[in-house]
Amino acid sequence: MVDSILAATRSSSGALTVGTVANPHRIPWPQVHATAAGMSNTLAGRGIGRGDTVAILAGDAADVAPLAQALWMRGAALTMLQQPTPRIDLGVWIADTLRALEMLRVSGVVVGAPFEMAAGPLAEQGLPVWSADSLRGEGPIALLQADETDIAMRQLTSGSTGVPKAVEISHRNLAANIDATGRATGATSDSIAAGWLPLCHDMGMIGFICMPMVFGAEAVVMRTEEFLRRPIMWAEMISKFRATITAGPNFAYSVLARMLEGADPQIITLSSLQVAINGAEPIDHRDLERFQSVGARFGLGTGVVTPFYGLAEATVTVSAGVFGVPPVVDYVSRPRMASANVAQPVAAEAPDSQPVVCVGRPVHDMRVRITGDRKILDSRKIGAIEVSGPSVARSYLTTEGTVALADEDGWFDTGDLGYLDEQDRLYICGRSKDLIVLAGRNLYPHDIERAAAGVEGVRKGCVVALRVGTAEREGFAVLAEVYDHYDEQQRTQLRRDIAARVSSHIGHMPREVRLLAPGSLPKTTSGKLRRNHARTLLG
């Protein structure tokens, strides 16, 4: 990785642009590298070297990009800490962060804007805490040669228990996935990537920091809060900087489509976009179609919005759709999915049809298979999605130490359920741990949520379906945010409408429908719903 970055730096005319759309600040990659060289000297003076882990809590790419380079120059690994959001209790966040830092055995924590308020509480725990600015210095690169098997990133993740663990991504994993993702998106040194995803998210860090550094391409990276405060800035950023590549989760495209409906095509253009990656959460075909339809007024080309599938254990990208052609939507029998775990094609207009968005074929050097009962399943049989290849990490770091991630043959069970069609294209049905089984039928939370979201009065992208009950009597609850202006009689009717819509769609009534005020459902820093954290709202 370091060799690739150094080579790109020497020949690149590209740059990292930060700040805001109205007030951008462009930093050429050679300047980023010069800053990194100075930081590597400062880190060497503080004892950081091969095998160490340094945690970073910063939202500004102008801090994160040189820090990443500097740590890799020293042979150290970086961990991007989960960022606190306005909704989160700071005390809870600090406690969770301290558990993660203890597990990581960090040699230091670097704090940068806009999270300076966390420096004091972290330092009080006896941790070495440094401001990003304090690491900036002068001097030649202090390089320690890293091996391709050395860990480049420890990407934090947690399961339903909330116990922290980190995917140990090696330099080899990172280089392989950047190459594969570059091939899938057609990225070159002439590309212009524009994004706002949090840098603690693998798609944000790798897609908008690591990839542009390796390719020497232009990268425009704004803070996440800029998008959350004013979503139209995403389109303005694409328009102003003539971006060719962008990325975001499904909900973000839904939000942006609504914003664009009131925007002026004379001021905003999306005509430069070649690839707009839609990933990181379940993809709704209606949101794809709506964004394409609305975006066409602004020059958005056909097939620009491209479904991807990825996960931290595979560095980031597993599969990718083909850009330049419309996304593929598979219409299958809902009853057959639920009762027989088979994706049987039906007509789109059939009353029992279930749309499933194709997330493309495996990227370069990635292998994908579907298994069930320890056997590899045929096409259209729904089962566990397993992946293998040079992008797949070898281990997790946990509170109990390092544990193997893949099996002895190199296959990793992603925890997702899905199927391959006759052309080896991949489709995601849901998470195995979230699957709801009622009367021998498999129900996927996303299908329940999509049905409930279709009721007028329910806030778009603000519905969660949760499994409740016992093994003997399992059921599910629906939590939906609705607007405050409804009176109690209207709320009662809304609950009935949601229950009826869900029952009509999947054939089962929810055990409970709970209506919540706007902003009640927990979300990540990028605005994605946190289904497992929402369980606390059930009481």
Report the SS3 class of residue 283.
Answer: coil
**pLDDT tens for residues 236-271?**
999 999 999 999 999 899 999 999 999 999 999 999
441 compared with 278, residue with greater pLDDT: 278
pLDDT for position 525: 64
pLDDT for position 470: 61
Quickly tell me which residue has 């590597």 as its tokens: 40
What is the C-alpha separation between 334 and 332, in angstroms, rounded?
Answer: 6
pLDDT for position 440: 67
Report the SS3 class of residue 166.
Answer: strand
What is the C-alpha separation between 202 and 415, in angstroms, rounded?
Answer: 18
CA distances in angstroms from 379 to 394, 419, 424, 425, listed in the order given: 28, 7, 8, 9
Average pLDDT of the residues in 514-526: 82
How far from the centroid of its chain's Cα atoms is residue 539's Cα?
28
What are the φ and ψ backbone dihedral angles of 81, each rounded to 5 degrees?
A: -75, 145
pLDDT for position 471: 54
Quickly tell me which residue has 């989160």 as its tokens: 88
Provide the token pair at 205.
Answer: 């860090």
What is the C-alpha separation between 39 and 34, in angstroms, rounded?
Answer: 9
Provide the token pair at 324.
Answer: 């330049």
Residue 223's nearest CA partner among 237, 244, 243, 210 is 237
472: DSSP letter: S
What is the C-alpha separation between 295 and 261, in angstroms, rounded?
Answer: 9
pLDDT for position 384: 96
1-179+190-223 and 436-537: identical CATH topology: no
Ordered by start, the domain boundaries in the chain are 1-179+190-223, 436-537
pLDDT category of residue 527 using cuts at 50, 70 and 90? low
Please state whether beta strands 77-80 and 53-57 pair in parallel, antiparallel, or not at all (unpaired).
Answer: parallel
pLDDT for position 159: 47
Average pLDDT of the residues in 172-195: 96
The span from the first CA to the last CA of the chain, in angstroms, equals: 48
- What is the residue-averaged pLDDT of the chain? 91
Phi-psi region of 509 (alpha: psi -120 to 50; beta: other; left: phi over 0): beta
Q: Is the pLDDT of residue 1 over 90?
A: no
Provide the token pair at 92.
Answer: 């809870």
Q: Is the pLDDT of residue 472 over 60?
A: no
The answer to which of 329-333, 335-339, 354-358, 531-535 has the lowest mean pLDDT is 531-535
Average pLDDT of the residues in 295-306: 96
Q: Whole-prediction pTM value?
A: 0.86
The answer to which of 65-79, 182-196, 393-407, 502-516 has the lowest mean pLDDT is 502-516
**pLDDT tens for residues 439-465?**
667 787 888 888 888 898 898 788 998
Average pLDDT of the residues in 219-244: 96
Residues 6+ apart with CB under 8 A from 184: 308, 317, 320, 360, 363, 364
pLDDT category of residue 160 using cuts at 50, 70 and 90? very low
pLDDT category of residue 162 using cuts at 50, 70 and 90? low
CATH of domain 1-179+190-223: 3.40.50.12780
Rg (CA), the chain: 23
Q: Is the pLDDT of residue 85 over 80?
A: no
**pLDDT tens for residues 94-145?**
888 999 999 999 999 999 999 998 899 899 988 999 999 999 988 788 888 8
Q: In CATH, what class is 436-537?
A: alpha beta
Q: Is the pLDDT of residue 161 over 50?
A: no
Count of helix runs (H) and strand runs (E) in the chain:
16, 29
